[in-house]
Structure 1
Amino acid sequence: MLIPLCPGKADCPYFAKAELLADYLQINLPNFKIHKITQHPDKWKQWLHDICEKNGWKHKHSPIVWRELLDRGGKGLLLGGFNDFMEHAQHYYGITSDMLSEQMLRIGAENLNTHIEIEKEEEYLKSLINPLQVWISSASAPACYNLIPLLASGEVFGMATEISIHLLDSNHYKEILQGIVMEAQDLAFPLLRSVSVHTELDDAFLQADVVILLDDILLQHEIPSLEDCIRQVTEQCKVYGSLMDKNANSTVKVIVSGKTFVNLRALMIMTFALSIDPQNIIAMAMFLESAAKAMLARKLNMHSAGIKDVIVWGNISGRSYIDLSKAKVYRYDSAIWGPPSFSRHLLDMIYDGNWVRSEFASVLSLLSSREHHCLGISPAHVIATVLRYWYQDSPPGEIVSMGILSEGQFCTPEGIFFSMPVRFQDGGWEVITETEINEETQETLKYLTHDLIQEKKVALGEISEMCPYKETAFIDFDMLALLEEENAPPDDLETLSSGLLQPKAPEGEKVQTTADETEAPPNGLLQSEILEEEKVQVPIDDAETSSEGLNQSETSLSMAENKNP
């Protein structure tokens, strides 16, 4: 019995021609059987290369290899993509072919679509056997406690996908992690295969399909400079990136969350995890987006779910702009009614422009100082929402803000993580490049990128100190002076919130910020700038530190209110 084996590229028209011939022979010859193997075009060359490497064939483009492939089969083994074969035949023997026909092209396209559908079905079947491996770093954080039920409910990854959750943190928090494991087991979620604790870095991110980084920079006994903080972040990301590169699956999805150096941490993870596709690493900006929507909803006396398309531009944990120029309002209770798809421009609904430029921008800039008052519900919700969009697509037509690696969109410099509007579709995301921005917005984006470029250069050792952007009102920053002014004892500090830093005053002068000195942002854009109210974040790990942290936070906010009556 003759059984030819015919592998080839799924979209190859020459493979389609051979396929037609093989089908004809199989119908008319009772002892003729054929087994077809197709490879995705993106994987074909690597697959052929692996075959040659496995058999010790160094010159895969040589006719000797093609003859060797035929001879090794012994029983009519035919191996090779037909378009590659014709390319080699033309190169070595001058043979050309114009056999391309509409039928061949149509069959090639159908083969590719069929191959993609088969791959999806195989991945789905594997997911029923092998649970999705989800790793959460700094798992003692309150956000992790609230995130686990959302991930295990089935709404994020699908009702047919089981998951295993791995909690990663230092040995100091082992008891807290074990308590989380016991509570998660008590919930008895059908899709939660297991929950485990990990305190050894060598085992981190093993076979990870999803990695959620909740880490923020930690201070031990002394307060470093801003550049020292950046270097400390870089060292941490170097360790994490190397471990992901070594242990995680090649298709792992990485979400960088938190409130310190979010953009920079995502960039450094990408730098040190070379095997991970940069499109699989994102920085969370939805927390700012959701908080802005909630505040606007309170102003309009409506549900925050009815506000869509608020855009966060720039540095998520530093200088960022909240763009309301595309924002829409749905289901607003007014004299004008319409179907669920009916919307109105948000800026047309808010008549108090002074509130938008003053109170709205000021409150958003204090989000980091407010974050420790909550128990991580909002950060957990936005992380789960982004993951659900990533795996199941975002709502059609809806804009989502996300920090991604810039490739020059909106004239931003390449090679930095920058928050911009995206949409999730077909298991990936794409930048909504059709979003129109005016000249004022474009000018705003220029100096939003400045700090990110400076942070990158410090992290990579290209410069030792960050240089200010001279065209802005923010001249320089002095973190040590800021913390000394707040009189915060170093021994009580653990978490430092980046992005809320004081302009450095010239010698002998005192900085005074007034409404007249602050440059108003462009129309439709709100600047979430660095204000002096937030100084230091105190994490909540248990009941004792929770009350202490809240008391310190209330004192800090009270001082801020006294400074700014």
Structure 2
Amino acid sequence: MSGSPGRTAEPGYYLLHHNSLTGASCPTSYNLIPILVNGEVFGEDKEISIHILNNNFNEDSLHGIVMEAQDLAAPLLRNISMCTAIEEAFVGAEVIIILNDDIENEFESLENRIRARLPLCELFGSLIEKNAHQSVKVIVAGKTFLNLTTNLIIRYTPSLNPRNVIAVAMVLENEAKAMLARKMKTTASDIKDVIIWGNITGSHHIDLRKAKVFRYDSAIWGPPSFSRYLLNLIFDSEWIRKEFEASVNSWSLTRYFQRGVSSAHCIATVLKFWYHNSPPGEILSMGIISEGEFDTPAGMVFSMPVQCKNGVWFPRTDLTETELTEEIKGAIIHDLQQEKLIALGEVSTYQPYLPVAGITPRENRVRIQIEENLEEEQKDQTEFFSIGSLDFSEGRSSQEPLEGNDFEFYEN
């Protein structure tokens, strides 16, 4: 069998990316498949085969998604099939997407929900270990216990490079950007460098210390690369201090099952960055196996800032002066440790975190950050204005751009 004209092929067979979707009957799958086969993720010359399964290997709920995918008549979709035999799961898989989108029983205890992850991860881990390609990439996404699931998959795939198993934090990251954009009356895509620390679907922290806004409608304008610190542009600091993170978490919990589009987009974007590099200099949050970065426990799956380049990710350990204080880190580490201990049966009850007394509260941290960022921004603006001059000659109106070296100035 030879490759189609204009597509990458090896002698005798197509070059394929085999994608196995678990949890394939959930809304995210319906939105993800069209993105995977449009060429943006793996490349416009790569045909793919998709094998879908759910956690009970029942084909009844998968017929519809197979038929709809076939109806796409997508040129890059070579084949889509259901996996209903456990022993055949993940055979030859180069990419595996695990979707933790199950609707949980609200009356079931937290401990029972945590313990329920173990047998499924043990099963999937053994099948990945036995059947998948040796360099398989595993992406864990969804609503429930992402860090724990990622950690358990790593535990039960001992021959797999642990750096090839990651959890998607971009859904939460983008929700935060969207909420900030609504508050600022700007576009979410113009907000960059929001960091998600810790347990993506548990105890986490949304860090705005490095966050920047581009193309913001204000008295100061620059080229597309010009940005300002977000914390200096939101004048309602009370909202940042007390309502923002709680609002993001509340929105995430109540609207999750209507957001298959955003979940699918984030999974595809993370895959695209992993294969083709993330934007230079831009911060991406990802749940990864820690090797001690930012003084986090080695072997713990922890969401932190990363960058993707040449098919690998690496932590942004060059970042300094973030909001990851010892208080925040202590609460997150405790939460992750408790989840793992309960899942492995080493403790029976989740023990709440007891914070260390005398730590500066978040309200004061945000105030200090705003003041520090404002000082740095004022310095940047001084340099900004020193390289050009305002010129109202030759009939220019005050609303027209005035060029000064690489920048443009507007006067309100």
TM-score category, normalised to shorter length: 0.7 to 0.9
418-427 vs 334-343, which moves further: 334-343
1:426, distance to aligned residue in structure 2 (A): 0.4
By how many angstroms is 1:228 displaced? 2.3
Counterpart residue number, 2:43: 158
For 1:229-240, list aligned pairs within 5 A: 229-240=113-124
The structural deviation recorded for 1:415 is 1.6
Aligned 1:50-449 pairs, distance under 5 A: 125-126=9-10, 129-169=14-54, 174-216=59-101, 223-437=107-321, 441-449=325-333
For the residue of structure 2 that corresponds to 1:395, the secondary structure is coil
User: Is residue 470 from structure 1 mapped to residue 354 from structure 2 by the alignment?
Assistant: yes
Amino acid at match of 2:338: Q
CA distance in 2, matches of 1:174, 1:192: 20
Alpha-carbon distance in 2 for matches of 1:440, 1:390? 25
- The SS at the match of 2:78 is strand
Deviation at 1:522, TM superposition (A): 5.8
Q: Is the 8 A contact 1:289 1:401 kept in 2?
A: yes
CA distance in 2, matches of 1:522, 1:166: 51
Distance 1:173 1:354, change over 3 A: farther
Aligned residue pairs: how many? Answer: 356
| Amino acid aligned to 1:337 | W
Mapped partners of 2:347, 2:56: distance in 1: 35
Letter in 2 for 1:238: E
Normalising by structure 1, report the TM-score. 0.60
Report the 3-state secondary structure (helix = DSSP H, G, I; strand = E; otherwise coil) of the residue aligned with 1:523. helix
Aligned partner of 1:523 among 362, 365, 369: 365
Give 1:462 shift.
2.8
Pair 1:209–1:460, CA change in 2 (3 A)? same
Distance 1:407 1:367 in 2: 32
Structure with higher strand content: 2
* Contact 1:441/1:522, CA 8 A, preserved across alignment: no
- Asked if structure 1 preserves the Cα contact closer than 8 Å seen for 2:143 and 2:256, the reply is no
In structure 2, give the amino acid aligned to 1:361.
Answer: E
Residues 217 and 233 in structure 1, CA contact (< 8 A), matched pair in contact too: no
2:55 and 2:120 in contact (8 A); partners too: no
AA aligned opposite 1:181: V
Unaligned residue ranges in structure 1 (runs of 5+): 1-123, 474-518, 526-565
Partners in 1 of 2:15 and 2:276 — Cα distance?
Answer: 19
Identify which of structures 1 and 2 has the higher relative contact order when contacts are C-alpha pairs closer than 8 Å and 6+ apart: 2
- From the superposition, tell whether residues 314 and 135 of structure 1 become closer, same or farther in structure 2 (CA, over 3 Å): same
Which residue number corresponds to residue 339 of structure 2?
Answer: 455
CA distance in 1, matches of 2:329, 2:364: 11
Question: What CA deviation, in whole Å up to 9, does each residue of 1:388-440 have, x standing for no partner?
Answer: 00000000000000000111111111121110000000001000001113687
Partners of 1:228 and 1:190 in 2: CA distance: 44
1:29-63: CA deviation from partner (whole Å, max 9, x where unpaired): xxxxxxxxxxxxxxxxxxxxxxxxxxxxxxxxxxx
The question of whether the paired residues in 1 share the 8 Å contact of 2:241 and 2:366 is answered with no
- CA 1:171–1:277: 2 relative to 1, 3 Å: closer
Amino acid at match of 1:395: P
Higher helix share: 1
Question: 1:304-326 deviations in whole A, cap 9, x for unaligned?
Answer: 11000000001100111100000
- Residues 154-199 of structure 1, C-alpha deviations (whole Å, 9 max, x = no match): 0001111111111112568634422222221121111111111122
Q: Which amino acid aligns with 1:193?
A: R
For residues 74 and 261 of structure 2, the distance between their equivalents in structure 1, rounded to whole angstroms, comes to 19
Alignment check: 8 A CA contact 1:412 1:446 kept = no
Distance in 2 separating the partners of 1:439 and 1:347: 13
Distance 2:328 2:104 in 1: 32
Structure 1 residues 178, 522: CA separation in 2 closer, same or farther (over 3 Å shift)?
farther
* Contact map agreement 1:242 1:273 (CA 8 A) in 2: yes
**Could you state the TM-score of these two structures normalised by the residue count of structure 2?**
0.81
Distance 1:229 1:398 in 2: 35
Matched residues in 2 for 1:276 and 1:332: separation?
Answer: 45
Q: How large is the Cα RMSD of the aligned pairs? A: 2.2
State the 1:360 CA deviation.
1.4
CA-CA distance at 1:129 after TM superposition: 1.5
1:147–1:524 distance in 2 versus 1, CA, 3 Å: farther
> Kindly tell me: are residues 174 and 521 of structure 1, through their superposed partners in 2, closer, same or farther at Cα, counting changes over 3 Å?
farther
CA deviations 1:432-460 (Å, max 9, x no partner) are 00111368723311221111012122223
C-alpha distance in structure 2 between counterparts of 1:333 and 1:412, whole Å: 39
- Letter of the aligned partner of 2:365 in structure 1? N
Does the 8 Å CA contact 1:217/1:232 hold for their aligned counterparts?
Answer: no
Work out the CA distance in 2 between the residues paired with 1:361 and 1:250.
Answer: 39
Q: Deviations over 1:277-299 (max 9, x none)?
A: 10000011111100000111111
Sort the Cα spacing of 1:402 and 1:375 in 2 relative to 1 into closer, same or farther, 3 A. Answer: closer
Indicate the SS of the match to 1:174: coil
More moved, 355-364 vs 189-198? 355-364
Q: Residues 369 and 219 (structure 1 numbering): CA distance in 2 closer, same or farther, change over 3 Å?
A: closer
Q: Distance in 1 between matches of 2:261 and 2:203?
A: 24
State the partner residue of 2:378. none
Task: Give the aligned residue type for 1:387.
Answer: L
Partners of 1:404 and 1:424 lie apart in 2 by 12
Separation (CA, whole Å) in 2 of partners of 1:522 and 1:456: 32
> Structure 1 524/177 Cα, relative in aligned 2: closer, same or farther at 3 Å?
farther
Question: Take 1:521 and 1:408, find their aligned partners in 2: how far apart are those partners?
Answer: 28
Counterpart contact for 1:315–1:452, Cα < 8 Å: yes
Cα distance in 2 for partners of 1:275, 1:371 equals 38
Tell me which amino acid in the other structure corresponds to 2:294. Answer: F
Which amino acid letter does the alignment assign opposite residue 429 of structure 1? W
